[in-house]
Structure 1
């Protein structure tokens, strides 16, 4: 069945707005669909997939259409639609447009220059080549420029993986166990999960397998005091709460009240009662200082460039700039430094990002250890063995889309050495004296 010709105009309109890069693509799409409520589900899906195809292939599409004025919104949309729904689904095309789509089918992309194949901005391509080499950069970019599968986490407080697989099959939705997370499932289509009883009852949550592994690495135990320092909407918080079997005390810190508000209905659905959302003004908030030296485990999933999530958010590579990464590293250093103060002796601190860049990962951890001799690195292979996760790693966790099938993730586990309890930091003592 062909799509209505008018859909090309809708796609042009929203793509033009998205390519201004003033807001995340998913936010702009959501707003556009809300304002154009007459668009049906099939039309919305086609528009969204077209937009993401253009974002993934922007360099190639622009070059193919001649660049500059030749890369009109109309031509970009045609290429995106042809890539995702096929030429046969498009109606109302001129002879020139049909010829354009036939011509692109004849191109062997493997013969294109490396930069064009990578579909990355020059600054990011250069960073990846310096870090990974050209061959691996192209392998990585090839996967980053494809859509990600849909991963689910089974809430073990309410169901087990086999039961969920069986119940999904009645929908019918085919799901298979993820290779590394013991609670993960992978779906290769994108059904409307929010309508399923499993979702409504809190038995499943959408969460990339790499993110599930990060929650496992924390090693949280029953009855402990745990902090998710940059909780956001709380995907990892929920996973950690289930690992703790709904015992102990789990703080979800974030500077965004709006993000934490999204966590509350998810907590209610999950059945967890040990989660305590806390809005903080900044990483050195007094609410943080009062817990200094009291926490068993702290997860810092730090704000980052997000380059490991390009399969899901391809607009990030165009919205992010090289100087923005430098600003991120300053923020990451400050957040890790403050979060470390929470950790009790013998406690663990996990620093993580969804970045693929060493400057946001290894370099941050190495600088932290140089400035904080009271912490030591716990080799990742040891942590993975403790958690019975079948991954081969060295000192750090480095999950790569083209090797592990997940989003790109980095993590380091740091342990505070045992010793005599030191005097409280001056600012903590001052706060307590003022109370």
Structure 2
């Protein structure tokens, strides 16, 4: 896509570079919004086709693009309704300037050039950069509008959840930044994995909540070059996602079915927990299923790298169960969902994903849960999880299932981050600097 920027004339080399960046970023933004494809995929394709960009160029483009999505709830108010956001002019360049100031980006020369090109008072930049509050920054740039934290998430989202004003503000505030990289030590003592990571000069800290959870900071890591990852002793898994395996709490001699395994992060976690609990070689097994064969192929690669024989894959290719009925000690249903719990990590999804069809998604989730429950044996465990924050996909699905399946009953859970007892456990991103997740645990009577 190309758009004219003839209305803006660059008078310096820096302004010319700033205009080039603006053209690229705004085109990419427009492509994501119009195609509704994931921003990281579109960006990866762009960089693959445009190898001229060095690491600095890539960083400016990437971080400004994702920042634009993160703050779009505020920024879109300052764009006239008929204005194409891909048009490179003073109005849209000011959006990039606002993004850079809100994100506190470090490319000062480009920020200065964007201010000049958008005819923004350059002296205002220093004043804005000294402000602690994001609300103060956006209000100084656009004093004609009123801004609130809740505007950073779409109205359709708020209509689906019941939170107090304080909780809404906390949730919106947590969306102002990307969560850190969380990882998990697996099939090895955590101390040994930490030593290995330190030898690779990776900054690391342990989680206070789970013994095997590791905080790897916020900077990107070249994982294939990390020894512990190469050996399958380290897996990247968000802290909220790690809650699910700990709720399952599989024993070394149990048979588990991961019904919606995807690429296998939770299957590997279950296997690692089995091994950690075992005093001898675990006698249990995990069957991992999915309707996507490509996902199971990736799972098999990860299991091979981790050198575990506990996981077997079983393609779910028809309506009937791919496994035995009344057989498993535990069944995990990590159901497909709207992924609203990952919006902090994927800010573009806030504006490209529609929640209009959440009812259809909930029906599918209930269908999968009902089917999968047939595989649970008497006194066995059934765990339902999503990476959604919406009641309709979470608590309502479980309530509907329990109403139709009285042989199952809820188990009280202790929230790992707050210590509260909960029948339905929602992990909010602000509770432990993570994504959002939901989990409920049931026992077959």
Give 1:119's aligned residue.
Answer: 152
Whether 2:60 is the aligned partner of 1:46: answer yes
Whether 2:432 is the aligned partner of 1:399: answer no
Seen in structure 2, the aligned counterparts of structure 1 residues 173 and 127 have a Cα distance that, compared at 3 Å, is same
Specify which of 291, 306, 320 is matched with residue 285 of structure 1: 320
Distance 1:332 1:195 in 2: 38
Structure 1 stretch 61-70 or stretch 35-44: which is displaced more?
61-70
Q: Offset at 1:168?
A: 2.4
Seen in structure 2, the aligned counterparts of structure 1 residues 317 and 236 have a Cα distance that, compared at 3 Å, is same
Q: Offset at 1:87?
A: 5.1
Structure 2 counterparts to residues 38-77 of structure 1, below 5 A: 38-66=52-80, 68-69=82-83, 71-72=85-86, 74=88, 75=93, 76-77=95-96
CA contact 1:114–1:138 (8 Å) conserved in 2: no
1:258-296 CA-partner distances (Å, limit 9, x unpaired): 2222212211111111211122125x33424xx110111
Distance 1:380 1:32 in 2: 45
Whether 2:302 is the aligned partner of 1:269: answer no
Specify which of 388, 395, 417 is matched with residue 355 of structure 1: 388
CA contact 1:61–1:71 (8 Å) conserved in 2: no
Residue 168 of structure 2 aligns to a residue in which SS?
Answer: helix
Seen in structure 2, the aligned counterparts of structure 1 residues 169 and 17 have a Cα distance that, compared at 3 Å, is same
Give 1:432's aligned residue.
Answer: none
Distance 1:259 1:37 in 2: 29
1:141-166 CA-partner distances (Å, limit 9, x unpaired): 111231110001111x1x32223333
Seen in structure 2, the aligned counterparts of structure 1 residues 169 and 341 have a Cα distance that, compared at 3 Å, is same
Unaligned stretches of 5+ in structure 2? 1-13, 140-144, 276-281
Whether 2:361 is the aligned partner of 1:328: answer yes
Residue 334 of structure 1 aligns to a residue in which SS?
Answer: helix
Distance 1:202 1:380 in 2: 30
Give 1:428's aligned residue.
Answer: none
Distance 1:323 1:250 in 2: 36
Unaligned stretches of 5+ in structure 1? 418-435
Distance 1:191 1:175 in 2: 12
Distance 1:40 1:68 in 2: 35
Distance 2:105 2:345 in 1: 18
CA contact 1:115–1:125 (8 Å) conserved in 2: no
Specify which of 237, 251, 264 is matched with residue 287 of structure 2: 251
Distance 1:134 1:269 in 2: 46
1:302-350 CA-partner distances (Å, limit 9, x unpaired): 1111111111111222122232211110111101000100000010000
Give RMSD over aligned pairs.
Answer: 2.6
Distance 2:292 2:344 in 1: 25
Distance 1:103 1:21 in 2: 36
Specify which of 96, 116, 133 is matched with residue 164 of structure 2: 133
User: How many matched pairs?
Assistant: 404
Residue 299 of structure 1 aligns to a residue in which SS?
Answer: strand
Give 1:13's aligned residue.
Answer: 27
Distance 1:377 1:286 in 2: 23
Q: Offset at 1:60?
A: 0.9
Give 2:10's aligned residue.
Answer: none
Structure 1 stretch 77-86 or stretch 167-176: which is displaced more?
77-86
Specify which of 59, 64, 88 is matched with residue 108 of structure 2: 88
Seen in structure 2, the aligned counterparts of structure 1 residues 164 and 73 have a Cα distance that, compared at 3 Å, is farther
1:364-385 CA-partner distances (Å, limit 9, x unpaired): 111111110111111113xx7x
Specify which of 179, 199, 207 is matched with residue 178 of structure 1: 207
CA contact 1:178–1:184 (8 Å) conserved in 2: yes
Seen in structure 2, the aligned counterparts of structure 1 residues 344 and 108 have a Cα distance that, compared at 3 Å, is closer
Give 1:376's aligned residue.
Answer: 409
CA contact 1:79–1:101 (8 Å) conserved in 2: no
Residue 421 of structure 2 aligns to a residue in which SS?
Answer: coil
Give 2:238's aligned residue.
Answer: 208
Whether 2:249 is the aligned partner of 1:229: answer no
CA contact 1:145–1:310 (8 Å) conserved in 2: no
Q: Offset at 1:390?
A: 7.4
Name the TM-score, length of structure 2 as normaliser. 0.83
Name the TM-score, length of structure 1 as normaliser. 0.85
Residue 287 of structure 1 aligns to a residue in which SS?
Answer: coil
Give 1:109's aligned residue.
Answer: 135
Seen in structure 2, the aligned counterparts of structure 1 residues 93 and 319 have a Cα distance that, compared at 3 Å, is closer
CA contact 2:30–2:86 (8 Å) conserved in 1: no
Give 2:437's aligned residue.
Answer: 409
Distance 2:147 2:115 in 1: 32
CA contact 1:151–1:208 (8 Å) conserved in 2: yes
CA contact 1:229–1:299 (8 Å) conserved in 2: yes
Give 2:279's aligned residue.
Answer: none
Q: Offset at 1:219?
A: 1.7
Q: Offset at 1:193?
A: 2.3
